[in-house]
């Protein structure tokens, strides 16, 4: 199973970005999909996840600003990020989990390479 994240970039505070994560191999509809972010010197942080039933979970820090969605026909999960803040800066990685869709990164089975998001103030 391979995950390819894209869509990162540099944006001013208050702006928007849309990340994509394309999944190849395996059965996409069997996976819960999550997004995590990390900055140097800090632990990887849960952002959001969507499971095979379409149930969605968000970290409190992004509720109301970020939206996760999945397109099963395209084997792709998206992360729409609005009202971005400088503290949203980090490397965003997508992950696929066979039996888990929560906030623990160690429980996900497959990871993409990450895409850099930088929010300037």
Q: Tell me, what's the pLDDT at 7?
A: 97
* Residue 31, pLDDT score: 94
Mark the ranges of the chain whose per-residue pLDDT is less than 50: none
Tokens of 106: 């160690």
pLDDT of residue 76: 97
What is the structure's pLDDT at 49?
97
Give me the half-sphere count of Cα atoms (radius 13 Å) on the Cβ side of residue 43: 7
Q: Which of these, 87, 85, 84, 97, lies nearest to 35 by C-alpha position?
A: 97
Q: How far apart are CA 13 and CA 26, in angstroms?
A: 37
Tens digit of pLDDT for each residue in 4-24?
Answer: 999 999 999 999 999 999 999
């Amino acid at each position: 199973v391979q995950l390819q994240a894209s869509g990162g970039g540099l944006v001013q505070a208050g702006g928007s970005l849309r990340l994509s994560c394309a999944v190849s191999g395996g059965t996409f509809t069997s996976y819960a999909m999550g997004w995590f972010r990390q900055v140097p010197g800090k632990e990887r942080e849960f952002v959001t996840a969507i499971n095979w039933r379409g149930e969605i979970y968000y970290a409190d820090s992004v509720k109301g600003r970020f939206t996760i969605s999945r397109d099963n026909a395209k084997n792709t999960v998206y992360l729409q990020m609005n009202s971005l803040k400088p503290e949203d800066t980090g490397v965003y990685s997508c992950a696929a989990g066979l039996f888990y869709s929560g906030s623990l990164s160690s429980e996900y089975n497959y990871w993409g390479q990450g895409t850099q998001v930088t929010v300037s103030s």
